[in-house]
Protein backbone atom coordinates (compact mmCIF):
# COMPACT_ATOMS: atom_id res chain seq x y z
CA UNK A 1 0.00 0.00 0.00
CA UNK A 2 1.42 3.37 -1.01
CA UNK A 3 2.06 5.85 1.79
CA UNK A 4 -0.21 8.45 0.24
CA UNK A 5 -3.14 6.20 -0.61
CA UNK A 6 -6.51 7.11 0.85
CA UNK A 7 -8.05 3.87 2.10
CA UNK A 8 -11.00 5.02 4.16
CA UNK A 9 -13.38 7.95 4.58
CA UNK A 10 -14.93 8.47 8.01
CA UNK A 11 -17.99 10.69 7.98
CA UNK A 12 -19.63 12.56 10.80
CA UNK A 13 -23.41 12.42 10.39
CA UNK A 14 -25.25 15.51 11.61
CA UNK A 15 -24.36 18.53 9.49
CA UNK A 16 -22.26 16.40 7.13
CA UNK A 17 -24.34 13.62 5.61
CA UNK A 18 -27.61 15.33 6.47
CA UNK A 19 -28.55 18.75 7.79
CA UNK A 20 -30.30 18.02 11.07
CA UNK A 21 -29.18 21.06 13.04
CA UNK A 22 -32.57 22.78 13.11
CA UNK A 23 -34.30 19.57 14.18
CA UNK A 24 -31.80 19.20 17.02
CA UNK A 25 -32.12 22.86 17.97
CA UNK A 26 -35.90 22.65 18.11
CA UNK A 27 -35.79 19.47 20.20
CA UNK A 28 -33.20 20.82 22.62
CA UNK A 29 -35.12 24.13 22.84
CA UNK A 30 -38.29 22.31 23.90
CA UNK A 31 -36.35 20.25 26.43
CA UNK A 32 -34.48 23.28 27.78
CA UNK A 33 -37.64 25.30 28.25
CA UNK A 34 -39.19 22.39 30.14
CA UNK A 35 -36.33 21.42 32.42
CA UNK A 36 -34.20 24.54 32.96
CA UNK A 37 -34.64 26.41 36.23
CA UNK A 38 -35.68 29.67 34.57
CA UNK A 39 -37.65 27.95 31.75
CA UNK A 40 -36.19 30.42 29.28
CA UNK A 41 -35.60 29.83 25.59
CA UNK A 42 -32.36 28.12 24.61
CA UNK A 43 -30.00 30.61 23.00
CA UNK A 44 -28.52 29.67 19.65
CA UNK A 45 -25.06 30.38 21.05
CA UNK A 46 -25.68 27.85 23.84
CA UNK A 47 -26.71 25.24 21.29
CA UNK A 48 -23.76 25.95 19.01
CA UNK A 49 -21.32 25.57 21.91
CA UNK A 50 -22.43 21.97 22.59
CA UNK A 51 -23.30 20.77 19.08
CA UNK A 52 -21.34 17.62 18.24
CA UNK A 53 -20.93 16.52 21.84
CA UNK A 54 -22.41 13.43 23.47
CA UNK A 55 -25.79 13.92 25.13
CA UNK A 56 -24.32 13.37 28.60
CA UNK A 57 -21.87 16.24 28.18
CA UNK A 58 -24.48 18.43 26.48
CA UNK A 59 -26.90 18.00 29.39
CA UNK A 60 -24.19 18.71 31.95
CA UNK A 61 -23.25 21.91 30.16
CA UNK A 62 -26.81 23.09 29.62
CA UNK A 63 -28.22 22.25 33.05
CA UNK A 64 -25.16 22.15 35.33
CA UNK A 65 -23.37 19.31 37.08
CA UNK A 66 -25.49 19.40 40.23
CA UNK A 67 -28.75 18.94 38.35
CA UNK A 68 -27.36 16.47 35.81
CA UNK A 69 -27.64 13.28 37.83
CA UNK A 70 -27.54 9.95 36.03
CA UNK A 71 -31.34 9.65 36.23
CA UNK A 72 -31.83 13.21 34.98
CA UNK A 73 -29.46 12.65 32.07
CA UNK A 74 -31.24 9.45 31.05
CA UNK A 75 -34.69 11.05 31.27
CA UNK A 76 -33.76 14.22 29.37
CA UNK A 77 -31.79 12.37 26.73
CA UNK A 78 -34.62 9.90 26.11
CA UNK A 79 -37.23 12.64 25.75
CA UNK A 80 -35.03 14.79 23.54
CA UNK A 81 -34.23 11.95 21.14
CA UNK A 82 -37.88 10.91 20.94
CA UNK A 83 -38.74 14.48 19.89
CA UNK A 84 -35.93 14.49 17.35
CA UNK A 85 -36.76 11.13 15.77
CA UNK A 86 -40.43 12.08 15.46
CA UNK A 87 -39.60 15.44 13.86
CA UNK A 88 -37.40 14.08 11.04
CA UNK A 89 -39.83 11.54 9.61
CA UNK A 90 -40.42 12.33 5.97
CA UNK A 91 -38.66 15.67 6.31
CA UNK A 92 -34.90 15.11 6.06
CA UNK A 93 -32.76 14.88 2.95
CA UNK A 94 -29.04 14.25 2.46
CA UNK A 95 -26.98 17.36 1.97
CA UNK A 96 -26.64 18.34 -1.71
CA UNK A 97 -24.05 16.26 -3.60
CA UNK A 98 -23.51 13.86 -0.67
CA UNK A 99 -24.97 10.88 -2.62
CA UNK A 100 -22.48 11.52 -5.43
CA UNK A 101 -19.58 11.50 -2.96
CA UNK A 102 -20.82 8.33 -1.29
CA UNK A 103 -21.12 6.58 -4.64
CA UNK A 104 -17.73 7.81 -5.79
CA UNK A 105 -15.83 6.59 -2.75
CA UNK A 106 -17.68 3.28 -2.77
CA UNK A 107 -16.94 2.71 -6.46
CA UNK A 108 -13.35 3.91 -6.07
CA UNK A 109 -12.54 1.33 -3.40
CA UNK A 110 -12.41 3.48 -0.28
CA UNK A 111 -14.04 1.94 2.77
CA UNK A 112 -16.54 4.24 4.48
CA UNK A 113 -17.60 4.62 8.09
CA UNK A 114 -19.78 6.91 10.16
CA UNK A 115 -18.49 8.08 13.54
CA UNK A 116 -21.23 10.17 15.11
CA UNK A 117 -21.81 11.50 18.61
CA UNK A 118 -25.55 10.98 18.07
CA UNK A 119 -27.32 8.22 20.01
CA UNK A 120 -27.88 4.93 18.20
CA UNK A 121 -31.63 5.60 17.89
CA UNK A 122 -30.90 8.77 15.90
CA UNK A 123 -28.41 7.04 13.64
CA UNK A 124 -30.87 4.21 13.03
CA UNK A 125 -33.71 6.61 12.23
CA UNK A 126 -31.65 8.69 9.80
CA UNK A 127 -30.05 5.71 8.07
CA UNK A 128 -33.41 4.01 7.66
CA UNK A 129 -35.03 7.22 6.38
CA UNK A 130 -32.29 7.91 3.82
CA UNK A 131 -31.36 4.27 3.09
CA UNK A 132 -27.68 4.86 3.81
CA UNK A 133 -26.72 1.43 5.14
CA UNK A 134 -25.28 -0.02 1.89
CA UNK A 135 -22.57 2.64 1.71
CA UNK A 136 -20.92 1.98 5.07
CA UNK A 137 -18.69 -0.78 6.39
CA UNK A 138 -18.79 0.54 9.96
CA UNK A 139 -21.39 2.71 11.72
CA UNK A 140 -20.56 4.03 15.21
CA UNK A 141 -22.83 6.13 17.41
CA UNK A 142 -22.35 8.10 20.58
CA UNK A 143 -23.29 5.11 22.70
CA UNK A 144 -21.25 2.52 20.81
CA UNK A 145 -19.25 1.90 23.97
CA UNK A 146 -19.13 3.58 27.40
CA UNK A 147 -15.35 3.23 27.21
CA UNK A 148 -15.11 5.65 24.27
CA UNK A 149 -14.77 9.29 25.28
CA UNK A 150 -16.75 11.77 23.21
CA UNK A 151 -15.31 14.27 20.76
CA UNK A 152 -12.96 16.19 20.99
CA UNK A 153 -11.33 12.98 22.22
CA UNK A 154 -10.17 10.90 19.23
CA UNK A 155 -11.64 7.63 20.51
CA UNK A 156 -14.54 7.16 18.09
CA UNK A 157 -12.38 7.86 15.03
CA UNK A 158 -9.66 5.50 16.21
CA UNK A 159 -12.30 2.83 16.88
CA UNK A 160 -13.68 3.32 13.36
CA UNK A 161 -10.20 2.86 11.89
CA UNK A 162 -9.66 -0.22 14.04
CA UNK A 163 -12.89 -1.82 12.87
CA UNK A 164 -12.13 -0.90 9.26
CA UNK A 165 -8.63 -2.37 9.71
CA UNK A 166 -7.11 0.80 8.26
CA UNK A 167 -4.24 2.85 9.69
CA UNK A 168 -5.38 6.27 10.98
CA UNK A 169 -2.90 8.00 8.67
CA UNK A 170 -4.74 6.50 5.69
CA UNK A 171 -8.13 7.84 6.80
CA UNK A 172 -9.90 11.06 5.84
CA UNK A 173 -12.47 12.45 8.27
CA UNK A 174 -15.28 14.72 7.03
CA UNK A 175 -16.57 16.91 9.87
CA UNK A 176 -18.52 20.09 10.51
CA UNK A 177 -17.97 20.70 14.23
CA UNK A 178 -15.03 22.23 16.06
CA UNK A 179 -14.81 19.30 18.48
CA UNK A 180 -15.03 16.86 15.56
CA UNK A 181 -12.12 18.49 13.73
CA UNK A 182 -10.09 18.44 16.94
CA UNK A 183 -10.87 14.75 17.41
CA UNK A 184 -9.85 13.89 13.85
CA UNK A 185 -6.52 15.68 14.07
CA UNK A 186 -5.76 14.18 17.50
CA UNK A 187 -6.44 10.77 15.94
CA UNK A 188 -3.72 11.45 13.38
CA UNK A 189 -6.16 11.68 10.47
CA UNK A 190 -6.57 14.22 7.70
CA UNK A 191 -9.75 16.28 7.98
CA UNK A 192 -12.03 17.97 5.50
CA UNK A 193 -14.33 20.49 7.22
CA UNK A 194 -17.74 21.48 5.88
CA UNK A 195 -18.96 24.90 7.03
CA UNK A 196 -22.59 23.90 7.58
CA UNK A 197 -22.54 24.79 11.28
CA UNK A 198 -19.35 26.80 11.82
CA UNK A 199 -17.43 29.45 9.92
CA UNK A 200 -14.13 28.60 8.25
CA UNK A 201 -12.29 30.63 10.88
CA UNK A 202 -13.56 28.30 13.59
CA UNK A 203 -12.40 25.22 11.67
CA UNK A 204 -8.83 26.28 10.95
CA UNK A 205 -7.44 23.07 12.44
CA UNK A 206 -8.86 21.13 9.47
CA UNK A 207 -6.60 20.41 6.51
CA UNK A 208 -9.19 21.73 4.03
CA UNK A 209 -12.61 23.32 4.26
CA UNK A 210 -15.55 23.73 1.89
CA UNK A 211 -18.87 25.55 2.15
CA UNK A 212 -20.75 22.70 0.49
CA UNK A 213 -19.96 19.46 -1.29
CA UNK A 214 -20.51 21.02 -4.69
CA UNK A 215 -17.44 23.20 -4.10
CA UNK A 216 -15.11 20.22 -4.36
CA UNK A 217 -15.37 17.12 -6.51
CA UNK A 218 -14.35 13.78 -4.96
CA UNK A 219 -11.67 13.20 -7.60
CA UNK A 220 -10.18 16.60 -6.77
CA UNK A 221 -10.22 15.59 -3.11
CA UNK A 222 -8.10 12.54 -3.93
CA UNK A 223 -5.62 14.74 -5.82
CA UNK A 224 -5.42 17.11 -2.85
CA UNK A 225 -4.86 14.13 -0.57
CA UNK A 226 -1.91 12.92 -2.64
CA UNK A 227 -0.30 16.38 -2.59
CA UNK A 228 -0.92 16.61 1.15
CA UNK A 229 0.80 13.30 1.93
CA UNK A 230 3.88 13.63 -0.29
The domains of the chain are located at 8-19+92-229, 21-88
What pLDDT does residue 52 have?
72
Residue range 16-23: mean pLDDT, rounded: 90
What pLDDT does residue 230 have?
74
What pLDDT does residue 3 have?
47
Instruction: Give the pLDDT band of residue 4 (cuts 50, 70, 90).
Output: low
pLDDT score of 73 more than 90: yes
Q: Cα–Cα distance between 155 and 168 in angstroms, integer? A: 11
pLDDT score of 198 more than 80: yes
Residue range 137-144: mean pLDDT, rounded: 92
| CATH number of this structure's domain 8-19+92-229, picked from the four choices 3.40.640.10, 3.40.50.11610, 3.40.50.1000, 3.90.1010.10 | 3.40.50.1000
Q: Cα–Cα distance between 147 and 169 in angstroms, integer? A: 23
Buried b or exposed e, range 74-89, using 16+ CB within 10 angstroms: eebbeebbebbbebbe
Residue range 151-186, pLDDT digits in tens? 999 999 999 999 999 999 999 999 999 999 999 999
pLDDT score of 1 more than 50: no
Q: Cα–Cα distance between 181 and 126 in angstroms, integer? A: 22
Amino acid sequence: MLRNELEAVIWDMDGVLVYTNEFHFQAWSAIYRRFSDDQQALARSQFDSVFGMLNDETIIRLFGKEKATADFIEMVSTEKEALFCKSIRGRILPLPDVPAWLNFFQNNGQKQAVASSAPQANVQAIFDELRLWPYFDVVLSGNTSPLLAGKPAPDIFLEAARQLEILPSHCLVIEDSVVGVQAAKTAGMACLAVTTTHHTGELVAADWSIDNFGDLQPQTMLEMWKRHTK
